[in-house]
Structure 1
Amino acid sequence: MENRELHPNLQAALQLVEGIFQMLGSRYEVILHDLSHVESSIVALAGDVTHRKIGGPVTNYLLQLLQKYGDSAPNSINYRNVTTDGRILRSSTIFIRDENGHIVGSLCINQDLTDYIVASRLHQEMVSFQHPAEEDEAEELFAHDISEVMEDMVRTELGMVQKPVAYMQKEDKLSIVGNLANRGIFDVKGSVEYVAECLGVTNFTVYNYLKELRVKNK
């Protein structure tokens, strides 16, 4: 990650990361994001719940919150997450703003609940006549590179169409671009090129789709 000058409010939060982690313990992870650089937003972390590193990217969930709400994005406290290896987390995302209310970063805390949930389920099996219901998986991806975030978002949208790209009509591709725009993918550098490649169209076509969608939404 390149040397960068952090906003003073992020500098202040930077001093809290290690202390919060030490207070909470080893089953937690505390991460500070500089949201002016979504491709390499992680500027500080303590703990190793999601195995990410300094210089890692923003998550798809954060991108989606920012795209949907902008600077009005609410804090998201104690929501459920599932990692790619099946561990169950309780997560919180707290936004950090400047003096004008603009979001400059976020402090994210992840707690690994897997062992507690396994123990709870074992207890339930001992005292219950039926198995507990399966829990739904969360949609947040803890990636090590921003390209993983983009790939997951595009793969999900392509899967929803349920036809090969070669058989897609303009309406299919326009819908995919619109959904990806709503999820905030086009805030990521290089995303237009990646989406164009996946859809088998030119960069110019993707820009035209975005322009058409803006006009339609007005």
Structure 2
Amino acid sequence: MTHSESMRKKKTSGTEALLLERYAPVADGIVALFAGYVEAVIHDYASQKVVYIANNLSKRSLGDDSALDDIAPEEPETVIGPYEKVGWDGGRQRSISIVLRDDDGHTIGLLCINMKLDVFEQAKQAFDILLSHPQLVPQPDKLFQDDWQERINTFIQHWLTQQGLTMARLSHPQKRALVTELYNNGAFKGKSSQNYVANVLNMGRATVFKYLRELKETENA
């Protein structure tokens, strides 16, 4: 073994140790977050080999060739992708690669994160079928002509859209303003409508009744 070959072997084993120490826990954390749908593979640039696999979905083995010839030693790009590729089973995958460097900024490896898309595509197809039901007909007026709950729901969503607000982030003054608009548009004529609005807006019933009493007093005055 020549001196250069010995130094290269030492450098390779050293970079592999650095890669595993620094980035193996990162790979483990990523796949833990995404359960069984993601794998993370660490490639060593010096040896051009796979040195770590977390949640092996690609059926690769440690020591497999990495084929990193197209990655320049001082590649300025840090994140490559996302891009799509085909897995061993023919399923689509979405992947992203992160260039790993040492303390001096030299490229030492690549962390590739691969996500299986087939389960999400199946879920999307199921949702598409449910949400685009071909046999839906317009809501029958004879059945819902006095559906005050739906009218309240429609009014609230329209008001939220106009105001650029969301139900979850409504402040108390905004809820009071919404109750006022509902009152002015006759929303409280239905039986138990006060209780319904209180539940929808996550308010106390006493508070809604208080607002309505004040509105009626102002109106009578």
State the structure with bigger RCO (CA 8 A, min sep 6), 1 or 2.
1
Q: Which one has the largest radius of gyration?
A: 2
Please, what TM-score do these two structures have when normalized by structure 1?
0.48
**TM-score between the two structures when normalised by the length of structure 2:** 0.47
